Chain A
Amino acid sequence: MSGSLQSAERPGGASAAGAASGYRPSATLPFLAEFRRQASRRRTQLALGFMVLLPLIILISFQFDTGDDDDNGGGEFASLIDLATSGGLNFTLFSIFVSASFLLVVVVALFCGDTVASEASWGSLRYLLAVPVPRARLLAVKLLVALTYSALALLLLAGTALLAGTLRYGWSPLRSTVAAQIPAGEGLLRLLAVLGYLAVVLLVVAGLAFLLSVTTDAALGAVGGAVLLWILSSILDQITALGALRAFLPTHYANAWLGLLSTPVQTDGVVRGCISAICYATLFWGLAFWRFTRKDVTS
């Protein structure tokens, strides 16, 4: 430490609110700065990379198909598996189908659950608050960036699957046994609608993980907790004895997107699923903001 402060300037230029020159609360922690902070992290790169890799792995796996037809476990939607190689759109649908129930949940929980908790565990959260980044702004930017990465993951998965699937299996109409085949152009729109609905449903995971993220300093706890609760809700949803209570489970409408494949499109479950997901997400985020703007940051 042989530093000197020869060019130390005279302090001054403070604003009416007493801030240092150049400081504006609304300019702190810009979206891009937070985006770069997260982009530099290995887990972000790995998660996004895996989203690109997964469709390719599935594609290669299909090359080992020996033609032995075995029943894929029944259910009218099991045929999505049989139809996966019928075209790029169907391949994309299959990729989404296999990752929607768990993989995407984990990825979204990772992006949203880790964002605040990891800063707390590194100790950098208190320096951001001392900048000062207003707490509501910190949360808003962190949430937006986490949601952006979640959306990016979803799009990367679908985009890669669509690209690889189309290159390998060609551009053909979307097929399913639940409805007439859908022309490729409209099929693409349906696929986008499916992605949109999935994104909305995953908002519940995002909300839950984010709430846990601001309440704990352990990033693993927030991510794992959100996934765990999601699985618990899925299990409860299997228990028909719960009757009407099941409709209140956040996972109850998780598969309603399958209705978007039928003709005409079944929007009933989708609409109710959106209502459920938005209610839960709003509740969780509201609690997260309420909690974080009041809590003592002691980590």
Chain B
Amino acid sequence: MPSPLPARLRRALTRRRVVAATAVTALLAGAVVWAVWPDQQNFRTESRVLTVLSGPAGAEPVALDTTFYLPDGASAGRKVPAVLLAHGFGGSKESVRADAEDLAGLGYAVLAYTARGFGRSGGQIHLDDPDHEVRDAQRLLDWLAARPEVRTDAAGDPRVGVVGGSYGGALALLLAAQDQRVDAIVPMITWHDLAGALLPESSGRSPVDGVFKKGWAGIFFGNGGSAGSGPAGLAGATGNEEGAPVSAGPPSPAPGAGPGTGPDGGPAFAADPSCGRFAPDVCAAYLRIATTGRADPEAVARLGRSSPAGVLGRIKAPTLLVQGTADTLFPLAEADANARGIAANGTPVRVAWYTGGHDGGKGPRTDSDRLKFLTAQWLDHYVRGEGDVPERSFTWSRTTGFDALDRGLVATGYRVADYPGTGGTARRSVEVTGPVQSIANPPNGNPAAISSVPFAGALSSFLSGVAGDLPGQHARFESAPLPEAVDVVGSPTVRIRAASPTGAAVLFVKLYDVNPEGAATLPDGLVAPVRLTGLPADVATAQPVTVTLPAIVRRIEAGHRLRIVVATSDQGYATPAEPTVYTVAPGGGPVTLPTVDGEPIATSAAVWRWVLVGLLAAIMVGLVVVVAVVRRRHRRHDTSVHPQYAGIPLAVRNLRKEYADGFVAVSNVDFEVYPGQVVGLLGPNGAGKTTTLRVLMGLTQPTAGEIYVFGHRLVPGSPVLSRIGALVEGPGFLPHLSGLENLKAYWRATGRPEADAHFEQALEIAGLGASVHRRTRNYSHGMRQRLAIAQAMLGLPELLVLDEPTDGLDPPQIAEMRRVLQRYATDGRAVLVSSHLLAEVEQTCTHAVVVNKGRIVASGPVEEIVGESPSVLFDVSDPQAARAVLDRLTGVRVLPDGDGGLVVDTNGTARSEVVAELVRAGVGVDRVVPRRRLEDAFLALVGENSRGSGDR
């Protein structure tokens, strides 16, 4: 076969389809590529190990693993500002890579490095010690200043911001205090006083009396000890490197860098298995605290070196403080203290809270977007020197539910012009009451209540199941249901009284939100540990103690109660080992709830709402325009009557129908149907009859030519179609309805008055009797056919078009049909019948149109067509002799066609004479059959091979 494509496929592949399919495919492919195309990197990186001289004397070399991100286009001629990016505890320069890339994308030269004691960097962990980690960072500033691409304020003074989360955040604060070359800092989720954060005490006592936060401290210490790289992630924005035992499995130690191993490339220190990579003084302080659960003044002093608390007054770099609400390690109060301390110098400070933190991670998308925006704005103004002065407004967010789509948390952002601190701008007082209760301190703190699981704070804020107080170990004081909702933003306070036989007690005070069903929620798993001393044995004589609860952001709904729980144990804290029974009572005075009246920050949701409104409006407008255009086109539609065909029920002019695949079903059909006529459209299967009728019914668009009905041009949907009753391609009924219901349903669809339908007459014609009430699905073929004819006659249309109407009818019914049709074609009405049966047309029609292969072969009155033809069929004994005889007769012609016999055109010569001549010549004549024109025409068609022309 020369053709490579099957014919079907070729036919399907018309040019239009190929073009359309190609366009759609290209669009889809483009969309996919656009969506998955990796973002263009517009910076380059340089990784190197920098060895800097550090230590108290500035003479100890330490190797720092760094990556320098340089934006494209930065050069000695086009200097760019720089950002020093510090990572969280247990992380490395890799864990801040995403943030580094973001900042480099914003046009900053970013120096990310692994702090000493972590990853591939050398040295030991001194916990952001001014002589070690902070000095390291100063040397890195020197390095930045020496880079030709980095902008400088003076020789050796780079234009630089310092960004970091947690461990890196504290470094930013300490560095800004120690080195005035720093132009701006963005410390996130970090501490104010490390001793206070690890040994909190909520009644105002010093860390020496603090309650050891052993859960977090253990993770902290274990992480540094293992020299693990920690989970990759969010450090710059959120710093979650303090190990992730819950979410990310155990930290993965670098090969050969387990506990006790020295750092790669320089095991300069003898490894102590109990200290890992911690410096000996830090390690010793930790071991003392962890062993006793109490801090001694030396340990507090050591931690104080690592805390910004004492050096805040020296910070001149504008500071953006970011702190998380879901953070049991460094709660909001840490940032609050930093903010107050720095602002006291007159240094610009801005504070933002978000719903993540050491427990909650980076928070929802809206939060991380806000923080990125704030950071970029801060750096752009104070480091790059572009953009307006950022406002000092305080922004925060509140978890408002679970995202229905990705099951993450949803937070709503709020803002208020000035930072109010953890005391809020207003206070709400709620009374809590309860009896005096005795609670037991479990020996060695076991079993202990669970208030939070590190890294699961976001969940614990919603799932009351995590927070569990043990019976007998806690006291409860409850309020009445709140009459209205309260938006708590800040630290609530409560007063309690306690008594202890030993005179001392460690208690954990918590504020629960209790819903009407009784389910209690501890916001973010935060607790306030207190160590009380000098307590009497009898609670009646005990002095009230004011406890400052951790700052929270929470809406307490109307109808909810407040519950103050005073517990003796908590899994996250070290508690006295001796079993004791304390007595606690409400301290008198209400619980105060600080509130801030903020305005919600508009999110992209508002934009989408407008998009929706716009979309609906556009669709409305589009719909109106489309309807108007269609109406207009209809109105302009030719309603004129073609004068030539005004009185003619049907005139078909040069009709041509070519299907999309190139098949020509009707090539040129041209005929009329006059009033009073029953016209037969006769042709073999596939002659184009049905296609002609389809066009006539407005089911198919003709390729060329026109059809006029009573002079009106007929197109699909022309109103003049209402004057045509049709049966095309067999009956079509709703199978579940009876015959009568079908007719009624059909007539209802025309929208015309029921009286015009003439149901009785139609039913009479159908002659279905009682069967008219049966469902049509049970009808025989003939019954359906008769019902279809009846449907075509509903409303007595002026032109009746019937396609093979006698199909399935028995002979008496066919005879009856003939009478019905002839009677119908009176009073100006006309009938068009299509058939492939010669006899049928002969019996029923007054006129006939013969079509074959899409063309008219013959047409005229049936009598004329059926009338005797001049040709005669002779059956003779000797055809050869007969042919010779006939050739001699003048005018008589033997036609080429004729199977077995001779077809002779007598051309006026009498048949008797021809027979006489043949007999005279000795030719025996068996039969003489006069032929008729219609038959001639028809047989001529049928004689040709009509197979393969397909159904037309």
Residues of A within 8 A of B (CB): 1-5, 7-11, 14-25, 27-30, 33-34, 36-37, 40-42, 75-77, 122-136, 175, 177-181, 243-245, 248, 252-253, 255-259, 262-264, 266-269, 271-272, 274-275, 278-279, 282, 294, 296-298
The reply to whether the CB of B752 lies closer than 8 angstroms to some CB of chain A is yes
B826 proximity list for chain A (CB < 8 A): 5, 8
Among all A-B residue pairs, the 5 with the closest Cβ atoms: A123-B732, A262-B401, A27-B751, A258-B404, A19-B719
**Whole-angstrom CA separation of A24 from B403 in the bound complex:** 53
A297 proximity list for chain B (CB < 8 A): 694, 699-700
Query: Quick one: CB contact mask for B576-594 with A, threshold 8 Å, 1 for yes?
Result: 0000000000000000000
**Whole-angstrom CA separation of A69 from B632 in the bound complex:** 67
By the criterion CB–CB under 8 Å, are A298 and B608 in contact? no
Residues of B within 8 A of A (CB): 31-32, 35-36, 400-405, 407, 410, 412, 462-463, 515-517, 557, 559-560, 603-605, 608-609, 611-612, 615-616, 619, 630, 639, 641, 659, 694, 697-701, 709-712, 716-724, 726, 728-737, 741, 745-746, 748-753, 756, 758, 761, 764-767, 786, 791, 795-798, 813, 816-817, 820, 823-824, 826-829
Query: Within the complex, which residue of A28, A77, A129, A245 is in contact with B751, where a contact is CB–CB below 8 Å?
Result: A28
By the criterion CB–CB under 8 Å, are B401 and A263 in contact? yes
By the criterion CB–CB under 8 Å, are A19 and B731 in contact? no
B559 proximity list for chain A (CB < 8 A): 180
By the criterion CB–CB under 8 Å, are B733 and A3 in contact? no
By the criterion CB–CB under 8 Å, are A243 and B36 in contact? yes
**Whole-angstrom CA separation of A178 from B641 in the bound complex:** 71
B700 proximity list for chain A (CB < 8 A): 296-298
**Are A20 and B402 also in contact (CB < 8 A) when A3-B765, A11-B829 are?**
no
Query: Within the complex, which residue of A75, A244, A255, A282 is in contact with B405, where a contact is CB–CB below 8 Å?
Result: A255
Query: Within the complex, which residue of B737, B791, B796 is in contact with A127, where a contact is CB–CB below 8 Å?
Result: B791
Q: How far is the CB of A126 from chain B (nearest CB, A)?
A: 5
By the criterion CB–CB under 8 Å, are B400 and A272 in contact? no
By the criterion CB–CB under 8 Å, are B517 and A175 in contact? yes
Query: Within the complex, which residue of A3, A10, A130 is in contact with B697, where a contact is CB–CB below 8 Å?
Result: A130
**Whole-angstrom CA separation of A266 from B728 in the bound complex:** 56
Q: How far is the CB of B832 from chain A (nearest CB, A)?
A: 13
**Whole-angstrom CA separation of A296 from B698 in the bound complex:** 9
B660's nearest neighbour on chain A, judged by CB, is A296
By the criterion CB–CB under 8 Å, are A124 and B401 in contact? no
By the criterion CB–CB under 8 Å, are A271 and B729 in contact? no
**Whole-angstrom CA separation of A246 from B462 in the bound complex:** 28
A-B contacts besides A11-B828, A127-B746, 14 pairs, CB < 8 Å: A4-B761, A18-B723, A20-B795, A25-B719, A34-B749, A40-B741, A123-B731, A130-B724, A133-B749, A135-B716, A245-B36, A268-B604, A294-B701, A296-B701
Query: Within the complex, which residue of B404, B730, B797 is in contact with A259, where a contact is CB–CB below 8 Å?
Result: B404
A75's nearest neighbour on chain B, judged by CB, is B407
Query: Within the complex, which residue of A245, A263, A278 is in contact with B557, where a contact is CB–CB below 8 Å?
Result: A263
By the criterion CB–CB under 8 Å, are B751 and A1 in contact? no
**19 intermolecular pairs with C-beta atoms under 8 Å apart:** A1-B816, A7-B758, A11-B829, A18-B709, A28-B751, A33-B749, A124-B732, A128-B749, A130-B697, A130-B699, A175-B517, A178-B462, A245-B36, A256-B404, A259-B403, A266-B401, A275-B611, A278-B612, A297-B699
By the criterion CB–CB under 8 Å, are B764 and A2 in contact? yes
By the criterion CB–CB under 8 Å, are A262 and B750 in contact? no
By the criterion CB–CB under 8 Å, are B403 and A3 in contact? no
A268 proximity list for chain B (CB < 8 A): 410, 603-605, 608
**Are A3 and B827 also in contact (CB < 8 A) when A20-B723, A20-B752, A268-B605 are?**
no
A130's nearest neighbour on chain B, judged by CB, is B697
A260's nearest neighbour on chain B, judged by CB, is B404
By the criterion CB–CB under 8 Å, are B733 and A272 in contact? no
By the criterion CB–CB under 8 Å, are B734 and A256 in contact? no
Q: How far is the CB of B636 from chain A (nearest CB, A)?
A: 13
By the criterion CB–CB under 8 Å, are A17 and B716 in contact? no
A298 proximity list for chain B (CB < 8 A): 694, 699-700
Q: How far is the CB of B660 from chain A (nearest CB, A)?
A: 9
B824 proximity list for chain A (CB < 8 A): 5, 8
**Whole-angstrom CA separation of A101 from B559 in the bound complex:** 34
A23's nearest neighbour on chain B, judged by CB, is B722
A25 proximity list for chain B (CB < 8 A): 717, 719
A178 proximity list for chain B (CB < 8 A): 401-402, 462
A5 proximity list for chain B (CB < 8 A): 761, 796, 820, 823-824, 826
**Whole-angstrom CA separation of A95 from B88 in the bound complex:** 48
By the criterion CB–CB under 8 Å, are B36 and A131 in contact? no
**Whole-angstrom CA separation of A243 from B733 in the bound complex:** 50
**Whole-angstrom CA separation of A233 from B823 in the bound complex:** 61
**Are A1 and B786 also in contact (CB < 8 A) when A124-B732, A135-B716, A266-B400 are?**
yes
**Are A3 and B767 also in contact (CB < 8 A) when A180-B557, A268-B603, A296-B700 are?**
yes
A131 proximity list for chain B (CB < 8 A): 721-722, 746, 749-750
**Are A16 and B639 also in contact (CB < 8 A) when A23-B719, A258-B404 are?**
yes
Query: Within the complex, which residue of B463, B716, B745 is in contact with A33, where a contact is CB–CB below 8 Å?
Result: B745
By the criterion CB–CB under 8 Å, are A11 and B765 in contact? no
Query: Within the complex, which residue of A2, A9, A133 is in contact with B767, where a contact is CB–CB below 8 Å?
Result: A2
**Whole-angstrom CA separation of A41 from B711 in the bound complex:** 41
Q: How far is the CB of B101 from chain A (nearest CB, A)?
A: 18
**Are A18 and B767 also in contact (CB < 8 A) when A27-B751, A259-B403 are?**
no
By the criterion CB–CB under 8 Å, are A1 and B765 in contact? yes
B776's nearest neighbour on chain A, judged by CB, is A122
A275 proximity list for chain B (CB < 8 A): 608, 611-612, 615
By the criterion CB–CB under 8 Å, are B605 and A271 in contact? yes
**Whole-angstrom CA separation of A278 from B614 in the bound complex:** 12
By the criterion CB–CB under 8 Å, are A262 and B400 in contact? yes
By the criterion CB–CB under 8 Å, are A122 and B733 in contact? yes
A267's nearest neighbour on chain B, judged by CB, is B605
B557 proximity list for chain A (CB < 8 A): 180, 263
**Whole-angstrom CA separation of A4 from B517 in the bound complex:** 80
**Whole-angstrom CA separation of A133 from B716 in the bound complex:** 10
**Whole-angstrom CA separation of A40 from B733 in the bound complex:** 13
A33's nearest neighbour on chain B, judged by CB, is B748
A177 proximity list for chain B (CB < 8 A): 462-463
**Whole-angstrom CA separation of A8 from B401 in the bound complex:** 75
B730 proximity list for chain A (CB < 8 A): 123
**Whole-angstrom CA separation of A105 from B734 in the bound complex:** 25
By the criterion CB–CB under 8 Å, are B751 and A23 in contact? yes
**Whole-angstrom CA separation of A160 from B828 in the bound complex:** 59
B753 proximity list for chain A (CB < 8 A): 22
B801's nearest neighbour on chain A, judged by CB, is A130
Q: How far is the CB of B826 from chain A (nearest CB, A)?
A: 7
**Whole-angstrom CA separation of A124 from B723 in the bound complex:** 18
**Whole-angstrom CA separation of A22 from B723 in the bound complex:** 11
Query: Within the complex, which residue of B515, B609, B756, B761 is in contact with A21, where a contact is CB–CB below 8 Å?
Result: B756
A122's nearest neighbour on chain B, judged by CB, is B732
B829 proximity list for chain A (CB < 8 A): 8, 11
Q: How far is the CB of B187 from chain A (nearest CB, A)?
A: 31
A132 proximity list for chain B (CB < 8 A): 698, 716-719, 721-722
**Are A11 and B796 also in contact (CB < 8 A) when A132-B719, A275-B612 are?**
yes
**Whole-angstrom CA separation of A271 from B709 in the bound complex:** 53
**Whole-angstrom CA separation of A28 from B722 in the bound complex:** 11
By the criterion CB–CB under 8 Å, are A126 and B401 in contact? no
Q: How far is the CB of A298 from chain B (nearest CB, A)?
A: 7
By the criterion CB–CB under 8 Å, are B732 and A129 in contact? no
B758 proximity list for chain A (CB < 8 A): 7
By the criterion CB–CB under 8 Å, are A255 and B761 in contact? no
B736 proximity list for chain A (CB < 8 A): 40-42
Q: How far is the CB of A66 from chain B (nearest CB, A)?
A: 23
**Are A40 and B737 also in contact (CB < 8 A) when A5-B761, A18-B719, A130-B698 are?**
yes
B767 proximity list for chain A (CB < 8 A): 1-3
B694 proximity list for chain A (CB < 8 A): 126, 296-298
By the criterion CB–CB under 8 Å, are B412 and A28 in contact? no
